[in-house]
Each structure stands twice: as structure tokens, then as C-alpha cells.
Amino acid sequence: MEDAIGMERIKVGVLGGTGMVGQRFIQLLDRHPWFEVAEVAASERSAGRPYEEVMEGRWKLDSDIPPLVAQLQVKECTPDLDCRLVFSALDANVAGPIEEEFAQAGYVVSSNSRNHRMDPDVPLLIPEVNPDHLEVIPIQRRRWTRGGYIITNPNCSTIGLVMPLAPLHKKFGVAKVIVTTLQALSGAGYPGVASLDIIDNVIPFIGGEEAKMEAEPLKILGRLEEGRFVSAELKVSASCTRVSVRDGHLESVSVELNQKASSEDLIETWEEFDPLAGYELPSAPSPPIVVRREDDRPQPRMDRDEGRGMACVVGRVRECPILDYKFFVLSHNTIRGAAGAAILNAEYLYKKGYLS
Amino acid sequence: MEDAIGMERIKVGVLGGTGMVGQRFIQLLDRHPWFEVAEVAASERSAGRPYEEVMEGRWKLDSDIPPLVAQLQVKECTPDLDCRLVFSALDANVAGPIEEEFAQAGYVVSSNSRNHRMDPDVPLLIPEVNPDHLEVIPIQRRRWTRGGYIITNPNCSTIGLVMPLAPLHKKFGVAKVIVTTLQALSGAGYPGVASLDIIDNVIPFIGGEEAKMEAEPLKILGRLEEGRFVSAELKVSASCTRVSVRDGHLESVSVELNQKASSEDLIETWEEFDPLAGYELPSAPSPPIVVRREDDRPQPRMDRDEGRGMACVVGRVRECPILDYKFFVLSHNTIRGAAGAAILNAEYLYKKGYLS
Amino acid sequence: MEDAIGMERIKVGVLGGTGMVGQRFIQLLDRHPWFEVAEVAASERSAGRPYEEVMEGRWKLDSDIPPLVAQLQVKECTPDLDCRLVFSALDANVAGPIEEEFAQAGYVVSSNSRNHRMDPDVPLLIPEVNPDHLEVIPIQRRRWTRGGYIITNPNCSTIGLVMPLAPLHKKFGVAKVIVTTLQALSGAGYPGVASLDIIDNVIPFIGGEEAKMEAEPLKILGRLEEGRFVSAELKVSASCTRVSVRDGHLESVSVELNQKASSEDLIETWEEFDPLAGYELPSAPSPPIVVRREDDRPQPRMDRDEGRGMACVVGRVRECPILDYKFFVLSHNTIRGAAGAAILNAEYLYKKGYLS
Amino acid sequence: MEDAIGMERIKVGVLGGTGMVGQRFIQLLDRHPWFEVAEVAASERSAGRPYEEVMEGRWKLDSDIPPLVAQLQVKECTPDLDCRLVFSALDANVAGPIEEEFAQAGYVVSSNSRNHRMDPDVPLLIPEVNPDHLEVIPIQRRRWTRGGYIITNPNCSTIGLVMPLAPLHKKFGVAKVIVTTLQALSGAGYPGVASLDIIDNVIPFIGGEEAKMEAEPLKILGRLEEGRFVSAELKVSASCTRVSVRDGHLESVSVELNQKASSEDLIETWEEFDPLAGYELPSAPSPPIVVRREDDRPQPRMDRDEGRGMACVVGRVRECPILDYKFFVLSHNTIRGAAGAAILNAEYLYKKGYLS
């Protein structure tokens, strides 16, 4: 199928296309100028039936299922899909070996799953932050031999933290970060959090989340030395909670810098940050970091859709009596924190010639 | 009126008895063994009518108005009430001078308002933590000349923080505290937070709250030297948010200690902490700090009523990669964090002979 | 074990003791003066372990598990429990045959499950409304031969409707009822309704609920003729929705009467209704119907605990331009609408000598 | 200012432009092809300052204030605005005389306020339903003498009811309607419902709402005879509740028809209903009534944005044991139920030549 300007679109597949993140992939890829969802794969249970039928009562987004995808026959997650690029929204219980099979078979896998994020030759990519990490792809390709490889995007709560840290780290050096998250319900998938558990309540625990937030930023902000990742020298301490919000993770952050900076320096650094300007990636927000100066922002419901859900919104920058500065940051957990991130990664790969 | 064992109860008044905290005072004092609500005072607008009538559509607690109070004529907040002790739930806009007038006129004022908390001769009292601070009362009494004085209890978010810090500070020394709060709606009074502002949302701002949390603990944990308060040498950094929870402030805390301690040392310190044991104060929880060992506690809805709303519940104690330890603490903001605290303070005064 | 006055308590079992309703049985039976939970039975998966261990992370009530029950070994649901009376909170998928096995084996089964409610020799009992329906018990006992039998209580949304209808029906005759319900989350069990489905939302559908509400009242308000139930001659039309409320079903009711009556007649009829007065049943609310005259009551959060969750609260009685009168009624769905109802039924059986 | 195709847009004013409905007017009129917001008027308190400044902390919609409106100086509500058409979102306390002044001064007033809805020469207009009611405009114009006049749109809960009733009434005759509403928070304006009143709760009362729902449909579905409105011969009985939903009123409806019809007849009637097809009104949804066949629709969060908030969504059509049919209907209360309705009315006026 061709798009408006006559370009042939690249066929893509969505692995795990029936869950919350899988649905977002399908929604966000609808009418994408470069990519076209040609395949949806899911568990054996769903395979063999039209996507629309499988999703009866399970499609949870406000917009309807895109008509072309609605008609697709759901496939199993085996590497015989008619496409070159697959997005993985697979559950961590199964994602590991399936993604490897696809890479082995020559597919490019842009994964939102956590399984391969910390692998030594897999980029944990944020195009605005560590595009140079793509240099490990040739190393990885050697492993799989048939041209395939895996790239990953960070955990939904990590990305909201790393986006504002990255330009600070580059300019002033970030030494220490203490963060408490207030995370949205959609982050737990569907059915996820029981309504009885969250009405008039907060749950101060999300399994495995704090460990991910304390480890992933070190790889993302780290550097490559002769094809090997060297962790950034900063420490992160995370405390994660679940609140009664549909979408949008809010994070309360305290940060210590290596070099002195004023709060205006921070704001300026964020407002000037737009490393993808000029790339014309369809999903790249411009700017990627929006600073609000009101007293009471960012708020999940008001700010999660900034940059069509791809921007991070920072606010309430103020001095911290213990570390240097405090601020809040908000990001949309199933767009910038999941499906949108993996799509942006693939767009960047395409622009840089990694899909050919 | 006499109670069951023939003791005559002390007549008390409630200033600002129509607001959220005022209602809690009246609810908590219902059938109190030592105190009896003899007077309710409020704004001019309400004065002169029976409490029940004034409260039509405004009484927001689950239990009904105690019948004896329902019939009371609401008075104005002038120091001609027939009682010796008044509890103040006055709005900070008016509390300052009114509380002074009552002290001047010889009343004992147990106030929940913030106005006099930091005054140099006013105790900011938590009976479990700094009972020695009552030593400034004679100094204050000299000011007012007729035997009256003011005592205050901490802000609703401060007390949940200071309760677990206090025994740690005594045993190991607390050097630094970084805290993010998730505060309940009732903390904003009534009508308070608009439902449209909080449904599917979090508000990362509560006016003046962070400053209070950063200042009050220093006085509370400080010491008296020749009748003057010397601030504790610790630093607090607070970030405050409002979440869609009815009652119960949850706090995510990181703490640095002066002396090394294991996480079991912390838990043991908390579990052994019960300085009011033996005092038999009607509102004193025993123990005042409850430690839960489950992964996902404390939770506002599950834990806020611990110790009839007077205990603090601590959980998820774990190492902090930056400071020493992290934990969550929950306390009921309108009971331990407001009316209950002021009542406990008055009970302690009574036991120690400060009411005679 | 004996209670305070030396009476030996009757040992009871709870079938399906791990679900939401099962938990309520255990909570409500704690310190019950007549009954003592001696056995808890559940699915094979849970059997063989202490109740406390089985319930880790699954106990959802605000009070803790009663210590004596916490230690009980969970049994399978087979009729070799050491008790005479069992309460059934079994899932409708399995309740049918299991309850029959227990009746067959000589147990008295007080069931909250829907399976046998409409059986021709099983009472669908509300002690305040149709105690004469117990007359079918001897018929049923003949079926089972060993003295056992089954009694049932109505569906959680039926009881809130029938309670106010019953005295009206007796006095004026009820001809037609149109009802729309706003039902609480706990009615769906645990995990039940996903938080993503109900935040900022209403679900206008509860499987099977409308049919139950349209059928059960006809049996309950019907009469026995020579051991056979004759349906009441009234029609019910029900529409059921799920709203974001934890406990408490609210119902909007329009009713047509056979005989003329004023709205004050209705209120008087309800306020005078107290057929269990004098029986001294531990769980019987007195009065069972509370009429509130405020404009904006009943409300789930304010009124669900009336009569310790056993009373129905009626309000906003006004003329209906189409049928005769409109009103709202609220009842606690897991207490009066489930576990509490089955316990009250058993108390009535006991008082009437049906347990010996 | 001209739009894309060179047409000069009509200048319009928004009276009461700072409240919830006023904000919706401004949002919905942003980039409107025919109308351009040239004036915003509000209370004295707000007048004289830029709209943006007045709205600091009060703008509650997810999209930002349109830049051109942000800069407008807010005016007082006096008839010296530079425009020909005004939309009124005034509070009912003040709307009556202000709207009359504007009509008197020659303005066309498209009002969402209730004050003039039942006036004998003021249309209560739904363009899909009773466009012939515009015939009273010449009568009204005679009153005001300078060419101005007032038109109104129904109450937010009325319109969701009348839209599906209208084509049924035309085809089969509607005799009786019993409706219970579950209304959204935004219907109460801002700050409106206190969060403490609605968390874990439902409020079974909305002042004046039931009376409006019982009266307005009779005028809307009535007919004009020699310039006088004759009420439709149907009866409506309404019960109104407020639930914890941000936007979207859900209604549970039972209806009795004069002529027999099958449920498929109803559905077909609704699906064929599109009287504005061909008019090309920018805000007219096509179709205006969407029928969903799933078991559990319509739902506020899933369906309120249908037709950009201008369509009504009907579902769960089934037989009623008492009247003839039951169904649920949902409509967006601040779009189709308020600002969007008034804009559509003005578009229809324009198309029909009533604005020249």
C-alpha cells in the first residue's frame, strides 16, 4: 500500500498485539506515513481468528480498532510473518526467547519488553539521548548471522526520569537522583489493578519497578567504549507507587549535579534540548521536554497528551535542601513509555539506514 | 455530667467547630472519658443557631452528630465560653489573634492551626516525642498573666514523618530526610479539592505544605536550652502531592543516619517505641508505630484506622542507594494529623497537671 | 467454646471462605454470640494450608483476619466438616451440586449462591418478609432423608429492592416496579472489575443481574399454597449498572400500588416496619428500614453502614408522574446483600428450632 | 479574518466565557469555519483583563486556550460588544435579564441557560428535532423591535433523552418515559462537586434537574399551532444522580409507545435518523444517533466523544416488562448537552438565513 506521496510503506508486525501496549502500537501505527501493520501475532489461544473478533471486549482504547487491522488474521508468534520489522509488546514471561527467534530469523525487533534491555550488545535506546548506542548493532548482528537484531526502549517509569536527566547529565553531570513515582493504572496492563484495590487508595509497591529504575538509567546515560557499555557514574534511588490515574506517570525527583547550576540553567537546558530537530521523524515530539511554569503542573490529566503523548512535561523546579534541585516530571506511560518509544526507535533506525 | 465511674468530666470548647477538623474534634470527643464538649464556637455567620441546624448538609463524617452536641447553640469565637480548655480548629486566616485572646483570658488552647506553631514559647507537641517541650509553658504563662497558654500539634503531613524519625533520631541521629507525600483530600478541608481537578489525576502542589514539612521537624526534634528551642541538626526536603484518597497521608521517605544501623535495627527501634505506655491516655495508640512487613503496605484504605487513626504505619523498609534507608509511612491526616493529635496533647496536659 | 453467658456456641463452616463474600462471613461471625467458625472450606488449590497463609494478599477487608480463623486448616468442600450448619459463599459455577451434597449428608446449608434460590422446596428467605416460607423445609428434608436442607437469601440487588417493597405490598399491594441500580464494585467479587474499566466511567451491564431482580421478588413476595409457591402478582423491570463505589448498592425505584396511598403513608409504613422486634436476633437491624428526609440521601458512603450494614436506607420519596411513587434505596451489598443476610437467616432458623 | 476559502467569518461573543461551559464554547469555536470569537464577556470582577490572565488556574480543558482568544480583553456583559451573535453560558442567577438586554439591543442570543427555555416565543431548539419551532422568531422579534432574539438549547440531561425519543415519537408516538440519570461531574460547573462528596460515592440528587427533564421534552416534541406551542402528549418521570465520571451523562430509559414496534424497528428508526444530512453544518454529527450492539455499551469514557461529542450513543435495547422498551443513552454533557448544542443551533440559524 502506498501513502499519499506515493512512497511504499514498510510492512511491520506487532508481537503481543492484544494487550494494552499491543493495542497502543496498533493505534499509533494507524495511518503512519512509513510503517504499515501487516501482521499481528499473539498467543496460540488467539491465533487463527480475525483481530476484531479476538479483541471483542478487550480493546480498551477510546478510538476504534483501525479497520484494516480489524480484519487481519491473528498469527502465532513464530518467525514466519510477512514483514521485516516487528514491534514486541510481549509479556516478559515469554518475550525473551521469542524475540531471539525473530532476530535469529533476520527480523529487526523493536521491543518494549524488559528481557533484553540489559544485554551487552542490545541498545537501550532513546533517540534523543543515546543514538550512538546503535553502534553495537553490528556486533549483535554477528550473533544472529542473518541480519536481524533487537533494540529496546526503557521501562515506562525510566524514560520519564531519563529524559530530563539526559541534557543535565551532559551539561552539568548528574551524580545522585532520588525519585518517587506516582504511576498510572494502564502501566499494569489489563485487567491489571483490581478496582477494589485502588478506589480511595494508593498501592506503594510495583513489583520489580524500583530495580529497573535504578539500573536502566546507568546504561542509557553510559557510553560505549570499544563496543562495550560503560555505566554512567550516577546513583538512582527509586520508590514506586500506583495511584488512581488512567494514564501518565508522575515522578517527584531530587537531583544532585556535579557542576553548579542555577534553576534557570536547568530550565534553559531543557528548553533548548531538541536533538532530533531536523530529522523529521513522524513520532518525534518537538520539543521533547516541555517546561511548565505554573505552580501546580505537570498533572497527569492535563499534560499526558503533550506532543501527542511523546513529550515529557517538567515543572516545579526548585532548590532541594539536601541534593541540588527538585522537580516533577510527567510522561505518558503507554505512549512515550512504551509503544510510542518503540515506534520512534524504529523511525530513527529507518532514517539512519538500519532497516535496509 | 459524670462519666461511668463518677468522675466529673472537664468542659471543653471547640473553636471552628463546623469545618472538617472541627467535626473530627466533635466526633472524637463523643463519649470521651475525661472531656465533654460544652461549647462549640464558629464564625459570626453560624453563631446563635443550634449546631445541628448549622451543619445541615455540611456534616461530612460517616457517624451522625453526637446528640448532645447537636443541640448546642453555636457561639462566636470570643473568650466567654463556659469551659477551661478549648480545642482550636480555626482557619489560619483568623486563628492567630483569636487563640491569643483565649490564652490572654486564661484558657488553655490546644490548637491544630499553624499560626503559633513556631512561636518561641509555644510547644509544638507530640507527647511521644518531645514532652519536655512543655517546660516553656510557664514562660508563656507569664506573657498572658491569667494562667492561659497555647499548645500546638504539627501539620498533618509533618506528624507522619516525625513519628518514625523521632526514635531513629534519638538512637542513631537523623542527618537528612527526603520525602514525597501523597496526601488525602480531607487534608484540604471542605469543599476543598474540586472533583473535576482530581478525578483521573494527581495535583503535585499543596500551598505552603513543603515549607511546613521542612521547618516543623527541626523544632519538634530539637531541644530546650534554658527555655529556648534549639533546632535539631537535620535537613528535610519535601515534595507534596494531592491524590484521590479520602483520608490518610502516605509518605515516601529516604533518610540518612549519623550512626550505622541495619534495617532490622530500624524496625526494632520502631517496634520498641512506646513512651506513653503506662500513662493510660484515652487517645494514645499502643504502639504508636506499627510496622507491616508485607510487600505492599502501608496503604491508605487498609491502614489509616490503625490505633483508631492514632497510629502511624510504616512499611517497605529497604536500603537507599543514596541516603541510608527508604520506607513508606502512613498516618490518618484528620485524626493523628489534626483533631486526634490536639486531643492527645490535652490528655497529656491533664495527666501532667497542666490543666489545674 | 462457650460465650460470655456460658452457652456453648454452634459450630459452623464457611464454604467458599476465601472470596469476597466468604471473607465477610468470617468477619461478621467473629465473636458471634451463637455461632463459631469451626471450619473453612474452599477449592482444592487452597485446601490443606492454614487460612491465614492461603489469604496472603487476598484478604480485602479493613479489619484483620480473626485470629482463631487465621489458624484453621482450610478444608475441601466435601461433607465431612465438623459442624452442623454451613454457610455457602460458593461460586455459582460449583455451588449447585456441592450444596446438595451437604444437604444430602444432613447439613443445614444457608446459601448466598443463586443456584437453588428458585427451587420449588427451597425458601428464598428474608426473615422480616417471608418467614412462613420456611414451611417448605419439611418437604425438602424428605428429599434429602438425613435431616439436612438448603435455605437461600436473595441476590444483593434484589434485597435492597424487596425490603421497602414488602411492607408496601402487604398494605397497599405493589403492582409494578421499574428500577435502575447503581451497584458497587465489591458486588463483582475480587479481582472483579478492572480499575481501567471503571475509572472515570460507568458500566451499564451486569451479567444475569436484571433477570434475577425481575424474578426473585415474585417468589419472595409470593405465598405458599399447600406447600407450593405462588408468585406474587407484580411486575419488575430492572436496569443494572456498575459505578465506582466500593460498597453499597443504590437503587432508583418507581412503584405503582394497587391501593391509593400518600407519600406519608409510605414513610409511615416503612418506619413502623419491624417484624423481628422482640426476637433478639444478633444480626437483625432495628429498624430494618431507615427513612432519611434530607434532599440528597441515601448515599453509599454515608449510609451503607446503617444498622451495621444490615439496614436498608430509603430517601427522596416523591410522586412519580407515571407510576405512583419514586424513591431511592441503599443497602450494603456484601452485608445485607450477602453474608449478613445468610447469617440472619441462620439466626432465625436457630430461634425457630430449625437447627436442632 | 478570513478562513481558508476566503469567506469572512462572523464575529461572535461568548457571555459567561470563564465558566466550564464558556470554556467549551471557546474551545469548540476555535478554528470554526463560520464563526470567530471576537468578544468574551464575564462578570465585572473579570472584566478589563486579558482572558488568559483571568483564566489562570481556572481553564480546565485538556487543550490550551486558543491563542487569539487568550489575548482578548474580557468585557462586561453589556450589549456593546462588537459582534452580531452571542453565545450565552451565563449562570441562571443572572442570565435572564442580561440575555433580554442583548436581544433588545438587536443581538441574536444562542443561550445554554435555562431562564428563557420555556418562554412562549423562544424556541427550545434541537435542529434535528424541531427546526419548525424557529417560526416563533418573528413573533419574538416584534417584542424586541431591533431584530434581536433569543434561542435556547435543552438542559444537558434533557437532550440525551430527547434525541432518541424524537424519531420514535414521530414514528410510533411516545406515551410514557421513566428515566434515571447517572450524570457527570462537569455538569455541575467548576468547582462544582467537592471531591470529598463523590469519592467512593453517588449523590442521588441534582437540584432542579428532574423538573427540567420532565418539562422540557414536552415543549421540544410539541408542535406550533398558530404561533403557540402545544405540548406533546407524553409523560416523563425522571430521577437524577451524580456519579464519579468527568464528562458524559448516562441515562437508563424505559419507554411506552403508542404503536406497536419491535426492538429492531427502534434500532432501524434510530439508524436511519439523520435529518441534517445535506445541510453541511460544521458541528452536526452524522449520524446524530449511534447504536451500539455490544452488551455493555454505551459507557461514558468510551462513547462520550462520538461525533466529536455531538452524537448520542444508544445501547442495550431490550423489552421492558412494564412499559415497552428499555435502553441506555449517553451524551456528552458539555458538548452536545451545552456549548456544542448552542453552536449547532447558531449554525442552523445561519444556514436558514436567520443571522442576516
CB A89 within 8 A of CB A21: yes
Contact status of B200 with chain D (Cβ, < 8 Å): yes
Instruction: Please tell me the predicted confidence (pLDDT) of residue D62.
Output: 83
Q: What is the CB-side half-sphere exposure of residue D30 using CA atoms within 13 A?
A: 14
Report yes or no: C319 and C325 within 8 Å, Cβ to Cβ.
Answer: yes
Catalytic annotation, residues of A: 156, 249
| Mean pLDDT (chain B, rounded) | 96
Condensed to tens digits (0 to 9), the pLDDT of residues B13-65 reads 999 999 999 999 999 999 999 999 999 999 999 999 999 999 998 898 988 89
Question: Could you read off the pLDDT of A81-101 as tens digits, one per residue?
Answer: 999 999 999 999 999 999 999
Among A286, A209, A279, CA closest to A251: A209
Intervals of CATH 3.30.360.10 along chain C: 156-332
**Domain limits, CATH 3.30.360.10, in chain B:** 157-331
- Quick one: pLDDT at residue B6? 56
Q: Is residue D156 among the annotated active site residues?
A: yes
B-proximal residues of D, 224-253, CB under 8 Å: 244-246
| Chain D residues whose beta carbon lies within 8 Å of the beta carbon of residue A305 | 62
- In angstroms, rounded to a whole number, what is the distance separating the alpha carbons of residues A216 and B333? 36
Interval A219-255: pLDDT, tens: 999 999 999 999 999 999 999 999 999 999 999 999 9
C297 → chain B, closest CA residue: B57
B241: helix, strand or coil: strand
| CB contact (8 A) between residue B191 and residue D190 | no
D307 to chain A: closest CA residue: A63
D294 touches chain A (CB under 8 A): yes
- pLDDT score of C164: 98
So what's the pLDDT on residue D5?
Answer: 53
Q: How far is CA D104 from the centre of its chain?
A: 23
Candidates 3.30.300.20, 3.40.50.300, 3.40.47.10, 3.40.50.720; CATH matching D10-155+339-351: 3.40.50.720
Q: Please check whether residue C54 is in contact with residue C18, taking contact to mean a CB–CB distance below 8 angstroms.
A: yes
Look up residue C123 and give its amino acid: P
- Whether the CB of D196 is below 8 Å from some CB of chain B: the reply is yes
Mean pLDDT of A1-28: 84
A224, A136 Cβ separation under 8 angstroms:
yes
> How does pLDDT run along chain C (356 residues), one tens digit per residue?
444 455 689 999 999 999 999 999 999 999 999 999 999 999 999 999 999 999 998 898 988 899 999 999 999 999 999 999 999 999 999 999 999 999 999 999 999 999 999 999 999 999 999 999 999 999 999 999 999 999 999 999 999 999 999 999 999 999 999 999 999 999 999 999 999 999 999 999 999 999 999 999 999 999 999 999 999 999 999 999 999 999 999 999 999 999 999 999 999 999 999 999 999 999 999 999 999 999 999 999 999 999 999 999 999 999 999 999 999 999 999 999 999 999 999 999 999 999 98
**Cβ contacts (< 8 Å) between B61 and chain D: which residues?**
none
Question: Where does chain C show beta strands of DSSP type E?
Answer: 10-15, 35-42, 74-76, 85-88, 108-111, 149-152, 174-183, 223-225, 228-230, 235-242, 249-257, 289-292, 312-319, 325-331
Among chain C residues, CA nearest to A187: C196
Higher pLDDT, B6 or C323: C323
pLDDT score at A4: 47
Q: Which residue has the higher pLDDT, B185 or C5?
A: B185
- D200 CB within 8 Å of a chain A CB: yes
C231 near D326, Cβ under 8 Å?
A: no
Q: Is C169 a catalytic residue?
A: no
Residue A107 banded pLDDT, cuts 50, 70, 90:
very high
Q: What are the residue ranges of helices labelled H in chain A? A: 20-29, 51-54, 67-71, 92-104, 137-144, 156-172, 195-198, 209-220, 263-272, 300-303, 340-351
Percent of chain A with pLDDT over 70: 98
Where does chain A hold its CATH 3.40.50.720 domain(s)?
10-155+339-351
Name the CA radius of gyration of chain D, rounded: 20
Neighbours, chain B (3 or more CB pairs < 8 A): A, C, D
The partner residue sitting opposite A180, judged by closest CB among B200, B252, B315, is B252
Return the residue of D nearest to C183 by Cα: D202
- Find the helix or strand (DSSP H, E) in which D100 lies: helix D92-104
Give chain D's residues under pLDDT 50.
1-4
Confirm or reject contact between C254 and chain D (CB < 8 A): yes
Cell of B24: 473530627
Q: What is the CATH number of domain A156-332?
A: 3.30.360.10
**Across chain A, where does the E strand assignment appear?**
10-15, 35-42, 74-76, 85-88, 108-111, 149-152, 174-183, 223-225, 228-230, 235-242, 249-257, 289-292, 312-319, 325-331
What's the pLDDT at C5?
Answer: 52
Backbone angles phi and psi of B200, in degrees to 5: 55, 40
Task: Give me the catalytic one of B32, B133, B249, B332.
Answer: B249
pLDDT band at A324; cut points 50, 70, 90: very high
Nearest residue in C to D294, CA atom: C205
Amino acid letter for position C102: F
Is C199 close to A246, i.e. CB distance below 8 A? Answer: yes
- Cβ-Cβ contacts under 8 Å, C326 against chain D: 237, 239
Dihedral, A126, A128, A129, A135 alpha carbons, nearest 10: 70
Query: Residue A6: its pLDDT value, please?
Result: 56
Tell me if the bond preceding A66 is cis, omega within 30° of 0: no
Given the residues D83, D156, D240, D312, the one annotated as active site: D156
Place of cell 489458624: C71
- Contact between residue C327 and residue C10 where contact means Cβ atoms under 8 Å apart: no
CATH of B157-331 among 3.40.50.300, 3.30.360.10, 3.30.830.10, 3.30.499.10:
3.30.360.10
In chain D, which residues have their Cβ closer than 8 Å to the Cβ of A294? Answer: 56-57
pLDDT tens readout for residues B318-351: 999 999 999 999 999 999 999 999 999 999 999 9
For residue D3, the model assigns a pLDDT of: 45
Q: Do D241 and C252 make contact, defined as CB atoms within 8 angstroms? A: yes
Using CB atoms, which chains have 3+ pairs under 8 A with A?
Answer: B, C, D
Q: Between the CA of residue D172 and those of C252, D175, D243, D257, D273, what are the distances in Å?
A: 27, 9, 33, 6, 14
Question: β-pairing, C325-331 with C312-319?
Answer: antiparallel
**Domain C10-154+339-351 has what CATH class?**
alpha beta
The Cα D111–Cα D95 span in angstroms is: 9
Q: Is B196 in contact with D194 (Cβ distance < 8 A)?
A: no
- Active-site hit among C116, C133, C249, C332: C249
Q: How confident is the model at residue B8 (pLDDT cuts 50, 70, 90)?
A: confident
